[in-house]
Amino acid sequence: MDYIVLNNGVEMPIQGFGVFQIPDAAICEHTVADAISVGYRLIDTASVHGNEHAVGAAIHKSSIPREELFVTTKAWISEMGYIQTLRAFEASLARLELDYIDLYLIHMPFGDYYGAWKAMEELYATGRIRAIGVCNFNSNRLMDLCQNVKIIPAVNQVETHPYTQQTEAMQIMQSLGVQTESWGPLAEGSNGLFTNPVLSAIGRKYNKSVAQVVLRWHLQRGIVAIPKSVHKERMAENFAIGDFLLSDEDMAVIASMDTGHSVILDLHDPKEVERLYNI
Ligand code: NAP
């Protein structure tokens, strides 16, 4: 497994595992235990997923030392603001039953995220968070945040997959020293990703599945990806991408699939923003 080094020197596994849409505690705990046994060391959850307790239980029952795991959680919109984020962090930590978080993220670029960031900077200074970052910040918001804060975000977790490649946004992130992390790395299977003829043809060349081609493409772009699956065989498939290299030609073919816009969550749409506030 490869690691990338964040802008504060912390090492982060480049292959991670996400637990969105696994609300059932027993299934989530079992899923995380399977992911750890397959080899994943980065587990990505969020307070709004409602499964931090199950993630923590799987971590506690695993034989992997805590320092070998990289745990990410996130503060939701209702947890924005200085006091609210301080409280939200304690609540997440308690549900996870951990004494520190590796990466704490602002989940959405809405509400008083400046107040939240101040709280996160303070928590980071105490050593209870190893790195702080954001999610879903477009280039304007990220640049604005970076002009006003002491600590530059270590990570921006954004929708990134072959249909939404974030190429220009990644250049801005790189110029600011912010690591790109992909959520929905497999596009949540939308737009027929797993049967896409272009990706399937590339997969046939290397004797790999579409999921493996896409996850290898993320790896070669230097993006941390956190695919989710409740099936152990798919977790293993998604993890086994270290033994082949996509050619420059195939990378260029995938680059041509970009639509230039989101296909899962359009944060420019006021109705979507309103929906998120009501979760
Ligand atoms: P994803 O990882 O792109 O796709 C997950 C879907 O693909 C599931 O339906 C899964 O089904 C299926 N799948 C996984 N591997 C497969 C394979 N090898 N073959 C066929 N199907 C496969 O989507 P995601 O869960 O939305 O994104 C990953 C993580 O990103 C989340 O779990 C969460 O941690 C994070 N996230 C963050 C945000 C944010 O705003 N920051 C938003 C969304 C997600 P099965 O489970 O049935 O296998």
* 126-177 pLDDT per residue, tens: 999 999 999 999 999 999 999 999 999 999 999 999 999 999 999 999 999 9
Candidates 163, 183, 264, 273: which one to mutate for ligand 1, based on the most atoms within 8 Å of Cβ?
183
Please give the distance, rounded to the nearest whole angstrom, from the Cα atom of residue 29 to the centre of ligand 1. 16
187 lines ligand 1 (CB under 6 A): yes
Other CB atoms within a 10 A radius of the CB of residue 193 amount to 20
Cα of 156 vs centre of ligand 1, distance in Å, is 17
Using 50, 70 and 90 to split pLDDT, how confident is the model at 1?
Answer: confident
pLDDT over 90 (residue 244): yes
Contact indicator for 29, 35 with CB cutoff of 8 Å = no
Q: Is residue 203 in contact with ligand 1, taking CB distance under 6 Å?
A: no
Split at pLDDT 50, 70, 90, the class of 115 is: very high
Supply the residue whose CA is at minimum distance from atom 2 of ligand 1.
Answer: 227
56: pLDDT confidence band, cut at 50, 70 and 90? very high
Mean pLDDT of 90-98: 98
Tokens of 224: 């941390």
For ligand 1, atom 18, name the residue with the nearest CA: 234
Q: Work out which ligand 1 atom sits closest to the CA atom of 186.
A: 3
The distance in angstroms from the start CA to the end CA of the chain is: 35
Residue from 21, 228, 241 whose mutation best tests the ligand 1 pocket (most atoms within 8 A of CB)? 228
CA 127 to centroid of ligand 1, rounded, Å:
30
Secondary structure (3-state) at 214:
helix
The token duo for 130 is: 């190893």
Cα distances (Å, whole numbers) of residue 234 to 17, 85, 108: 12, 35, 29
